[in-house]
Amino acid sequence: MDVIGSLYQYFPTKDAVTITLIERESFDLVREASEALQGPDHRRAVRDLVELSQPLPAAPAATGPGCEGSF
C-alpha cells in the first residue's frame, strides 16, 4: 500500500496536511497551557510552557525503497 497515496485519501493536498498538523499541535499547546495554569505556581507553569514550545530537533530524512522524491 502506498502510504502517501492513502494519506491523500483524507487530505487532498500537502497544504491540507500541513494545516491539519498545525491546528492539532496548536490545540495541544493551548490545552497544555490551560492545564498548567490551573496549578498554584504560575511562574513554574510559564517556564514549563516555554520549554515545551522549543522546537524539537529535525527528524532524519527517510531513506530506502519508496522514499524517493519530496512530500
4: which 3 cell numbers?
Answer: 502517501
pLDDT value of residue 16: 93
Range scoring the smallest mean pLDDT among 20-29, 33-42, 57-66: 57-66
Range scoring the smallest mean pLDDT among 7-16, 29-38, 45-54: 45-54
Kindly report, residue by residue over 2-30, the tens digit of the pLDDT. Answer: 555 678 788 888 899 999 999 998 888 88
Domain coordinates in residue numbering, the chain: 3-50
What percentage of the chain exceeds 70 in pLDDT?
Answer: 70
Cα distance between residue 29 and residue 49, in whole Å: 8
Instruction: State if pTM tops 0.75.
Output: no
Phi, psi of 2 (to 5 degrees): -80, 115
Q: What is the mean pLDDT of residues 58-70?
A: 59
What angle in degrees, to the nearest 10, is found between the helix axes of 14-36 and 42-53?
A: 160
